[in-house]
């Protein structure tokens, strides 16, 4: 047996051959070395139940080394191996397993080689990236409708003082029949708010032709008729409805007090309620 033939056996099979007396350790060492010459086999190889002469042993071993499936089937069918079950069954099984491993490995390599293909770079299909689409001016995004703003609240004019209102009506200087006064300071100097309102109304009537308060008219009428007037006279006149409307006692008293005070302040009457003929206001009303 040569080294190439021995290469088909694994270590377990070689150990079985040595244990069965087919080879010695020295012969195995010679075979696994670099020599290619056939080894000499013992004159007789003793196998339990079988005695093989040298020519028969060499033929048997060389047949096993060829790893031919058909020969292994023939070996299993021979009466000599059938008579020695230890050699026939174990050796045949080991040889069959080795053959299956070799055939499976060869088949695997063949499949891999047949499936492995090299794709040339020129065969690859190059897919260009999608072109970028530029937005055109016609594809404008619709703008959200503008929300109408709430109208601004109208400006509230700054409060004008009664003195300023009086200046707007009568001018900066006020003539009260022989005495001149600064209009604004004169009107703003009046303490009571209601009397300030009647003062502005009196000047707007005198210089702007506005309507005069009905209560002030009632007082001037009484002065024209009687030449003088007290607060009780005006209360009675308003309460009796002399000028067409009857007022309650409370309204009559409050309005009479305001009228008597404003006529004295603007010097239409003197301290006791008599008419002052030189008063510009009286002259206008009496005309």
Instruction: Report the interhelical angle of 25-32 vs 11-19 (nearest 10°).
Output: 150
* % residues pLDDT > 90 (the chain): 43
Taking only the tens place, the pLDDT of each residue in 78-132 is 444 444 444 456 655 665 677 777 777 767 666 665 555 444 455 545 555 555 6
**Domain boundary assignment for the chain:** 3-109, 162-286
Taking only the tens place, the pLDDT of each residue in 53-68 is 445 544 544 544 554 4
Instruction: Report the interhelical angle of 249-265 vs 193-208 (nearest 10°).
Output: 60
Q: Which residues contact 114 (CB under 8 A, 6 or more apart)?
A: none
Return the pLDDT at 4: 57
Backbone torsions φ then ψ of 110, nearest 5 degrees: -65, -40
Return the pLDDT at 11: 75
Taking only the tens place, the pLDDT of each residue in 195-253 is 999 999 999 999 999 999 999 999 999 999 999 999 999 999 999 999 999 999 999 99
Return the pLDDT at 40: 40
CA distance 16 to 2: 18
Question: What is the CA angle 120-121-127, rounded to 5?
Answer: 130
What's the average model confidence in pLDDT over 24-49? Answer: 53
Taking only the tens place, the pLDDT of each residue in 159-173 is 789 999 999 999 999
Q: Which residues contact 260 (CB under 8 A, 6 or more apart)?
A: 219, 229, 230, 231, 234, 269, 273
Least confident of 6-15, 114-123, 176-185, 188-197: 114-123
CB 237 within 8 Å of CB 260: no
Q: Which residues contact 192 (CB under 8 A, 6 or more apart)?
A: 258, 261
CA distance 58 to 107: 31
- For residue 274, what are the β-bridge partners? 228
């Amino acid at each position: 047996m040569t080294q190439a033939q021995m290469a088909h056996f694994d270590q377990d099979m070689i150990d079985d051959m040595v244990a069965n007396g087919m080879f010695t350790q020295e012969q195995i060492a010679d075979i696994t070395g670099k020599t290619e010459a056939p080894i000499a086999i013992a004159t007789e190889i003793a196998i339990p139940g079988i005695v093989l002469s040298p020519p028969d042993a060499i033929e048997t071993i060389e047949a096993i080394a060829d790893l031919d499936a058909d020969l292994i089937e023939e070996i299993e069918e021979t009466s000599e191996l059938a008579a020695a079950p230890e050699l026939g069954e174990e050796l045949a099984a080991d040889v069959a397993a080795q053959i299956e491993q070799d055939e499976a490995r060869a088949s695997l390599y063949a499949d891999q080689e047949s499936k492995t293909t090299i794709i040339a770079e020129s065969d690859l299909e190059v897919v260009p990236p999608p072109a970028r689409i530029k937005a055109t001016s016609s594809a404008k995004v619709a703008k959200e409708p503008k929300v109408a703003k709430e109208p601004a609240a109208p400006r509230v004019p700054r409060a004008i003082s009664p003195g300023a209102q009086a200046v707007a009506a009568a001018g900066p200087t006020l003539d009260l029949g022989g005495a001149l006064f600064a209009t604004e300071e004169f009107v703003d100097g009046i303490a009571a708010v209601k009397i300030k309102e009647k003062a502005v109304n009196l000047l707007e009537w005198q210089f702007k032709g506005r309507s005069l308060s009905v209560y002030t008219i009632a007082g001037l009428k009484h002065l024209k008729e009687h030449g003088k007037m007290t607060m009780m006279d005006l209360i009675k006149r308003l309460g009796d409805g002399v000028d067409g409307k009857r007022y309650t006692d409370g309204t009559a008293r409050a309005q009479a007090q305001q009228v008597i005070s404003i006529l004295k302040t603007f010097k239409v009457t003197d301290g006791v309620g008599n008419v002052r003929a030189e008063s510009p206001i009286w002259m206008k009303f009496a005309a």
